[in-house]
């Protein structure tokens, strides 16, 4: 799966939303993304994104022992991360509205129905 | 059990990927601490994915190389550590001639050209060998192929060093000379560093080369053989020792490959 800038931005936003709820570790995030239909994105893609978000101060992490297997790294949002999430949601809403509007108007008017 | 690290049961394929990733990031000059962090995190992920029956491709994608690059791009180059490595590398490069000179006449003398040239050749060598490391880490090839990729940088380095030494021997270049005592101290430090590097890299290759070059020479000095015969025996013994060592490490690599399937 090729990673365009737009896709990365969208995944960033989804990760921030997932992390907002409660502390999560990488595998859990990947599972949730695939539940939400991002199955085509390879799971490891989240780690470079998390690394950058951590460097930018959007998330923090702590390592905790787990009952099965090696230690897990749990992520949580910082205040800056929360602000970034708000900003993303705002951007997304506007984008979604525009895209939907464009599709609705253009497909109603000209071309024959495609799915 | 506190203090004992739980060893996850990773498949050979995943284990290999993690090892290659470490090598790739290390060869790209990334911080050791950060390399360990991401390697551990991915290891935990792969381990859990495997427990749930997912193939490694679902985690790292179709191209391990691309994935390694993606991770590498998010990490900074570790300038500080490399400033520390470079003197060690240069020292390692001239360590062979240090031992050689000490065996020869117990004191060290160097031309500035040799020191500067060694520094340049060493840095060039490190760049080439790390390029080779990165190349093979990103492509998960057999141990034998990896070995073959290491050869050109080694060959180029040896040729350049040979040319340098030849130039130094045939021309009278400005330089300096140390007394016996300081020379011996430098020699002792050199041996200590070589030992340390060998233990760190878990290979006896430097020590084998060193003894291949100097042990026959020292032993022959004790005999009363003709100079030409001595020289020939010396050369044959040197290649024999290196050859035997290569043969056995080659066999070991093939075995490791067979075990990895």
Per residue, the 3-state secondary structure of A47-84, as one string, reads HHHHHHHHHCCCEEEEEECCCCCCCEEEEEECHHHHHH
- From start to end of B113-251, where are the E strands? 175-177
β A59-64/A24-25 pair status: unpaired
The SS3 of residue B80 is helix
Report the pLDDT averaged over residues B19-47.
92
Contact of B212 with B241, CB cutoff 8 Å: yes
Minimal C-alpha gap between A30 and chain B (Å): 9
User: pLDDT at residue B97 above 80?
Assistant: no
Contact of B96 with B162, CB cutoff 8 Å: no
| Residue A17 structural domain | 5-107
Q: Which residues of B touch A70 (CB under 8 A)?
A: 5-6, 8, 40, 43-44, 47
Mutate to test the interface with B, among A42, A54, A66 (most CBs of B within 10 A): A42
Compute the distance between CA of residue B46 and CA of residue B63 in angstroms, rounded to an integer: 16
Contact of B176 with B110, CB cutoff 8 Å: yes
- The CATH number of the domain holding residue A17 is 1.10.10.10
B104 close to A (CB below 8 A): no
Q: Which residue of B has its CA nearest to A52?
A: B74
Least Cα distance to A73 among A50, A57, A49 occurs for A50
Residue A99 counted as domain residue: yes
Q: How many domains does chain A have?
A: 1
Residue A114 counted as domain residue: no
Sign of the dihedral through C-alpha B184, B188, B194, B198: positive
Q: How many CB atoms lie within 10 A of CB B75?
A: 19
Structure confidence at residue A15 as a pLDDT band (50, 70, 90): very high
Contact of A43 with B52, CB cutoff 8 Å: no
Structure confidence at residue B5 as a pLDDT band (50, 70, 90): very low
Q: Which residue of A has its CA nearest to B49?
A: A27
The pLDDT tens digits for A89-114 are: 999 999 999 999 999 999 876 555 44
Residue A115 counted as domain residue: no
**pLDDT number for residue A110:** 52
Average pLDDT for chain B: 83
Q: Residue B109's beta-bridge partner residues?
A: B177
Mutate to test the interface with B, among A1, A33, A70 (most CBs of B within 10 A): A70
Residue A34 counted as domain residue: yes
Compute the distance between CA of residue B62 and CA of residue A2 in angstroms, rounded to an integer: 10
**pLDDT number for residue B4:** 46
Beta carbons of A27 and B44 less than 8 Å apart: yes
Please write down the long-range contacts of B81-87, taking CB distance under 8 Å and 24 or more positions apart: B81/B29, B81/B31, B81/B32, B82/B29, B86/B123
């Amino acid at each position: 799966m090729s990673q365009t800038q737009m896709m990365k931005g969208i995944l960033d936003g989804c990760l921030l939303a997932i992390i907002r709820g409660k502390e999560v570790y990488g595998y859990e995030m990947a599972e949730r993304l695939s539940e939400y239909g991002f199955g085509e994105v390879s799971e490891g893609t989240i780690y470079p994104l998390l690394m950058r978000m951590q460097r930018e101060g959007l998330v923090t992490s702590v390592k905790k022992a787990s009952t099965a297997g090696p230690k897990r790294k749990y992520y949580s949002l910082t205040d800056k991360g929360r602000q970034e999430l708000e900003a993303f949601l705002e951007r997304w809403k506007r984008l979604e509205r525009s895209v939907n509007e464009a599709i609705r108007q253009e497909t109603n008017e000209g071309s024959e129905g495609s799915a | 059990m506190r203090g004992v690290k739980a060893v996850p049961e990773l498949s050979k394929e995943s284990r290999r990927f993690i090892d290659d990733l470490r090598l790739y990031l290390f060869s790209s000059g990334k911080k050791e601490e950060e390399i360990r962090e991401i390697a551990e995190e991915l290891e935990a992920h792969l381990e859990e994915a495997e427990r749930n029956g997912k193939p490694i491709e679902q985690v790292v994608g179709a191209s391990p190389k691309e994935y390694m690059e993606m991770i590498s791009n998010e990490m900074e180059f570790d300038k500080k550590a490399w400033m520390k490595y470079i003197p060690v590398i240069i020292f390692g490069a001239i360590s062979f001639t240090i031992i050689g000179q000490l065996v020869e006449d117990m004191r060290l003398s160097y031309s500035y050209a040799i020191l500067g040239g060694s520094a340049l050749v060493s840095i060039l060598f490190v760049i080439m060998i790390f390029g080779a490391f990165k190349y093979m880490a990103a492509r998960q090839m057999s141990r034998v192929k990896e070995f073959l990729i290491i050869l050109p940088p080694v060959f180029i380095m040896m040729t350049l060093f040979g040319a340098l030494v030849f130039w130094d021997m045939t021309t009278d270049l400005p330089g300096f000379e140390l007394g016996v005592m300081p020379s011996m101290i430098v020699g002792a430090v050199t041996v200590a560093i070589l030992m340390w590097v060998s233990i760190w890299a878990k290979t006896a290759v430097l020590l084998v080369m060193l003894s291949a070059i100097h042990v026959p020479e020292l032993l022959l000095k004790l005999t009363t053989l003709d100079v030409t015969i001595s020289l020939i025996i010396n050369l044959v013994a040197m290649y024999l020792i290196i050859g035997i060592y290569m043969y056995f490490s080659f066999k070991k690599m093939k075995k490791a490959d067979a075990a990895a399937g």
